[in-house]
Structures are given as structure tokens and as C-alpha cells.
Amino acid sequence: MSIPNVQEKNVSEAFSKQARVFDEEDTNNPILQWMRGVTRISVLSHIKKDAHILELNCGTGIDSVFFAQQGYRVTATDIAPGMLAQVNKKIKTLSIEDKINTKQCSFTNIQALQPAKFDYVFSNFGGLNCTQNLHQVIQQLKPLLNPGAGITLVIMPPICLWELSLALKGNFKTAFRRLKKAGAPSNVEGINFTSWYYTPTYVAKAFGNGFVVKEIKALGVIIPPPYLYKIVIKYPRFLKLTIQLEQLVASLRLFRKMGDHFLITVEKK
């Protein structure tokens, strides 16, 4: 089952509207910058030389451009035309047409990319939380993978310690929103859509026996979620301290499913 047409339409419209301010908001958010850096280091530690990368929900191409500048070939996909317009501007400005190609494509319809084959698949910052059936997306990925291909997904789990702590302030709506099995309402640029949340165990099982899990770690179990970035701007020492603590616990089994996001990397056998 794919996400309903109305969901897909709203996601596309919401993120197209956000495209005009996306890069500025990303640059000005030290938590997002730290998370993006951790994710890139992880991908670079697993990816093979000369790999062809497929990025799902590429946004304005921040990561696609980064990997292209590291020498990789990238196919950048997104459902939002506004986001892809920004990617295409960057490609032209940086003269990296030989490294990146773009395609407007929902990750619920990635079989449309066949017969293309990829050596690495990457999806950052919870874009895959916009589907009600992540299992189906993963099944569609499999025919697109070369032997030994790696996949790194950054996904939002049902339990986030920072959000649960909001119950102490009486904000029960935010504290428990991720636990709704029917999905939680989300809003970007005034447009409503639904988000669903997944555990690392769910994702690992969805890939199945043909894949080996290489890494799982939390992103934002000690460090605050990105939407609380004003706290760390006001108290930069707090950011430094939480990063140090995060590095100690992020890969521990107990904590790696309790962050704002988690990173999971698997490899095709």
C-alpha cells in the first residue's frame, strides 16, 4: 500500500514551499549541522570508491552536492518540484552536471528508476517517515541494488526522550505524538500531512536475511531535537556537553532507538 494521493500531494506542496528557505534554516541550525556531519562521516566510512549513489528525498541537494564533490555519481530524487528546482540551480552553478542527475520521483514509486542500478542508497532526516508503509519502500529498493550495495537511512523513531520529557511540562500532545499507530499530524509551511514512526528493529527486519546490519546509532538522544536549536545557540557550552555525552551513548542498544532520529546502515550480501 502506498501513501494516499492526498498525502503525497500535500507532502510535495509543503516541501516545495519550504525549498526557498530550506538552505538558510539548515545553515543557521547548529544541531542540524552536527547531525548532517555525523551522517556524512558514517556514509563515507561505509561507501566504496566510485559508487553510484541514489538519494531519496534529497531536498535542495545539500547532501547530494556534498557527495558529488567527493567524487561520487549521484541520482537525486524528490517528490517536491520546488526542492528539485533548487538542486538543479546548484548543479548548474557548480558545473557538476557530470556528477548529479535529478528525477522527480516519490520513494513509493522508485521502481520507476529501473533498470538503473546503484551501489549506495541514502535518505536523510526522516523523509521516509512520510510513508505509512516503509516496508514496501524497502522492497522496491532491492531490485535497484548492485551486489554489496550499502544503504544508510536516517529515520525518526516512535520514542524520543526529549519529546517525552515535555509531558513534565504538561505538553502531552507533543510528548506522545509519535506513539500514535495511525500516524501523527505534521505541518510544514502551513500544509498538513501525516508522519509515521519506525524502530531500528522494524527497518532491519524489513531488509531481511539478504542484508547485514553494519551500524545503528541514535541522532539526538542527548543533544536536543533540531527544532530546539535556540537553546544551544543561547548556551553553546550546553551544545558541546551534549555532543560529548551523545558520542558516549548513541550506539548503545538501549539508547539508539530513543533519539530524535536514528541512523541505520545495512549492506546487501
Tell me the pLDDT tens digit for each residue of 232-258. Answer: 999 999 999 999 999 999 999 999 999
Computed on alpha carbons and rounded to an integer, the radius of gyration of the chain in Å comes to 18
What CATH number is given to the structural domain containing 20?
3.40.50.150
Q: What confidence score (pLDDT) does residue 123 get?
A: 98
Q: What confidence score (pLDDT) does residue 100 get?
A: 98
Amino acid at 236: P
pTM for the predicted model, two decimal places: 0.95
Q: Which domain covers residue 24, as residue numbers?
A: 5-268
Number of domains the chain is built from:
1
Q: What confidence score (pLDDT) does residue 5 get?
A: 82
Q: What confidence score (pLDDT) does residue 40 get?
A: 98
Q: What confidence score (pLDDT) does residue 181 get?
A: 87
| pLDDT values of the chain reduced to their tens digit, one per residue, 269 residues | 444 589 999 999 999 999 999 999 999 999 999 999 999 999 999 999 999 999 999 999 999 999 999 999 999 999 999 999 999 999 999 999 999 999 999 998 999 999 999 999 999 999 999 999 999 999 999 999 999 999 999 999 999 999 999 999 999 999 999 999 899 999 999 999 999 999 999 999 999 999 999 999 999 999 999 999 999 999 999 999 999 999 999 999 999 999 999 999 999 99
What is the edge-to-edge ordering of all strands in the sheet holding 52-56? Answer: 100-104, 73-78, 52-56, 118-123, 145-155, 261-268, 211-219
Q: What confidence score (pLDDT) does residue 242 get?
A: 96
State the Cα–Cα distance between residues 156 and 161, nearest whole angstrom.
12
Question: Which residue carries 550499502 as its cell?
Answer: 150
Q: What confidence score (pLDDT) does residue 60 get?
A: 98
Beta pairing partners, 154: 263
State the Cα–Cα distance between residues 34 and 252, nearest whole angstrom.
19
Q: What would the grid cell of residue 92 be? A: 548548474
